[in-house]
C-alpha cells in the first residue's frame, strides 16, 4: 500500500537552502511513496477568536485536509533565534486545533534542520521536536538530521547533487520509511 509523505519547509525565501534540501531528500524515498509539498507561506496566523466564533479561514481547513491525507511528515527548517520560523510554528498550531481535532496526532515525522553555519540549526531541530512531542507525533530519533555548511552542497542551479550528501539523504528517507513500517 502506497504511503503519502507530507513535506513542510520552514523557509519562504526564493533561494531557500531548506527548500533545496527538501527537494533533494524527496527524491530519496521509494517509488511507491507519494511526496506532497504542503505550502504554508500564505496560511493565515492562528487566532483562537476566529476558531471560537466559527470564522476560521478556508485556508486553515484546506491545510488541515492536506495534513490529514498524509501518513507521515518531513519537516525541513532553518533556525531563527534558536527556534523555528514563525511560519512553521503557525502551521503546526493551525493543524493542532480545534482542541481534540489535532490532525498531526500519531503521525510519524522526520526533523531536518539546515544552516550555512556549522551547528546544523541544532536549536531549531530541538525546539521543533519539543512541539512534536506535545502533538503526539513519533519522531525518528536516529539518525539525527543537522545539515550544517549546506552551501558547500548546493550547485549553481540551487540543487544538491553531491553524491555523499544524497547518500546521507537516502539514509534519512530510509529511516523514516522503516519507522513508518515499524509503527504499522
For the chain, 184 residues long, give each residue's pLDDT as a single digit of tens: 689 999 999 999 999 999 999 999 999 999 999 999 999 999 999 999 998 998 999 999 999 999 999 999 999 999 999 999 999 999 999 999 999 999 999 999 999 999 998 888 999 999 999 999 999 999 999 999 999 999 999 999 999 999 999 999 999 999 999 999 999 7
Pick the CATH number of 3-183 from 3.40.50.360, 3.40.50.300, 3.40.50.40, 3.90.280.10: 3.40.50.360
Sheet holding 109-114, edge to edge: 33-37, 3-9, 72-77, 109-114, 145-147
96 phi/psi in degrees, rounded to 5: -85, -5
Ranges of each domain in the chain: 3-183
The whole-number pLDDT of residue 1 equals: 62
Amino acid at each position: 500500500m502506497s504511503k503519502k509523505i507530507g513535506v513542510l519547509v520552514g523557509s519562504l525565501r526564493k533561494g531557500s537552502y531548506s527548500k533545496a534540501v527538501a527537494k533533494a531528500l524527496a527524491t530519496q524515498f521509494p517509488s511507491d511513496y507519494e511526496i506532497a509539498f504542503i505550502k504554508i507561506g500564505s496560511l493565515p496566523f492562528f487566532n483562537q477568536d476566529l476558531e471560537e466564533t466559527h470564522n476560521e479561514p478556508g485556508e486553515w481547513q484546506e491545510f488541515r485536509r492536506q495534513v490529514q491525507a498524509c501518513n507521515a511528515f518531513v519537516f525541513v527548517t532553518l533556525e531563527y533565534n534558536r527556534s523555528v520560523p514563525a511560519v512553521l510554528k503557525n502551521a503546526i498550531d493551525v493543524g493542532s486545533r480545534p482542541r481534540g481535532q489535532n490532525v498531526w496526532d500519531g503521525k510519524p515525522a522526520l526533523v531536518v534542520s539546515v544552516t550555512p553555519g556549522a551547528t546544523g540549526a541544532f536549536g531549531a531541530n530541538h525546539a521543533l521536536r519539543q512541539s512534536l512531542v506535545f502533538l503526539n507525533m513519533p519522531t525518528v530519533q536516529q539518525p539525527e538530521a543537522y545539515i550544517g555548511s549546506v552551501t558547500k552542497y548546493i550547485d549553481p542551479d540551487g540543487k544538491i547533487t553531491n553524491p555523499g550528501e544524497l547518500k546521507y539523504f537516502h539514509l534519512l528517507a530510509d529511516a523514516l520509511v522503516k519507522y513508518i513500517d515499524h509503527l504499522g
